[in-house]
Amino acid sequence: MPIDDFMNEMTQVTDTAAQNAANYDNAAAPQRAVPALPDAQTVTQVTHWTDKLFSFRITRPASMRFRSGEFVMIGLMGDPHPDTGKQKPLLRAYSIASPSWDDELEFYSIKVQDGPLTSKLQHIQPGDEVILRPKPVGTLVHDALLPGKRLWLFATGTGFAPFASLLRDPQTFEDYDEVIVTHTCRTVGELTYGAQLIEDIRSNEMLEELIGDGFATKLRYYPTTTREESPKMGRITALMRSGEVFDDLGVPPLSPENDRAMICGNMAFNLELKDLLEEYGLHEGANSAPREYVVEKAFLD
């Protein structure tokens, strides 16, 4: 099935999912005068996308600056120590999913039933507080890439989060002629957050005004699933090796002259794709030495 037809189908899937998500959305956040936690921020919105995935928005400290694609440490207070009763913050690295111009911060998370943090974090409600260490860092930033023609954003699962930030940043479309986002998940439901976001970006009037008419045609979306039937099945790495992704999108295989890439997913995926990009002749860049691709350094799952 052509990708455009797939997108139409995905839109129908996501319309229903967005409706479900909206039903889950909670009421407006009550105001709290005194923060009870160190570095406390207030939850403003929570959306449950599947039984394993949710996103949430929190207030943003007025002084906090970051580059789209960076991550921060966020969390909650841990359980009291059985002997001393003392509580320590339980923090994990989370990519910021919102763009740097947004007044609030957005995050996209898995729910692990016995996970120390996400078993609790999944129950947050608007008005609750979370801890945010406001020191953003990261490698998935434009500064770590040399200028190029085409930007590839390769994600699996919640690895889509930093791209949700970068895709809402005008610079992403100013710097490249074409931006290709691939997202591989086990099931169709796990694609919903990303698919919905792509739809929103395509009709985002502010981006259109900033970047110009037709900016949305620069954005190509290539979702695939591995464990549930969908129009495009298979790991992106396999689809690259077979050449199928290039045929589907009508673009040549990656080259160090034209292509730039960012990788964010589970550890095995990050490593495998890194090797593959090296085979195409691309080299890993860093803030201090920009090259042709970058990999997320925060471990996501």
Q: Which residues bind ligand A2P (CB under 6 A)?
A: 156-157, 184-186, 226-227, 235, 237, 265-266, 268-269, 272, 301
Gap between the Cα atoms of 117 and 247, Å rounded: 42
**Which of 11-36 are b and which e, b meaning 16 or more Cβ less than 10 Å from the residue's Cβ?**
eebbeebbeebeeeebeebeeeeeee
Give min distance, CB of 114 to ligand A2P, in A.
16
Name every residue whose Cβ is closer than 8 Å to that of residue 292 and which is 6 or more positions away in sequence: 145, 146, 148, 256, 259, 260, 261, 277, 282, 283, 284, 285
Structure tokens at 279: 């085979």
CB 50 to ligand A2P: min, Å = 12
Q: Which is nearer to ligand A2P, 172 or 182 (CB)?
A: 182
- The C-alpha atoms of residue 249 and residue 255 are separated, in whole angstroms, by 15
> Minimum distance between the CB of residue 185 and ligand A2P, rounded to whole angstroms?
5
Query: In this structure, are residues 170 and 219 in contact, taking their beta carbons and an 8 Å threshold?
Result: no
Q: Of 268 and 286, which has the nearer Cβ to ligand A2P?
A: 268
Could you tell me the smallest distance in angstroms from the CB atom of residue 181 to ligand A2P? 15
Q: Which is nearer to ligand A2P, 42 or 192 (CB)?
A: 192
Which residue's CB is nearer to ligand A2P, number 41 or number 230? 230
Nearer to ligand A2P, 71 or 154 (CB): 154
Beta carbon of residue 158, minimum distance to ligand A2P (angstroms, whole number):
8
- Report the amino acid identity of residue 267: M
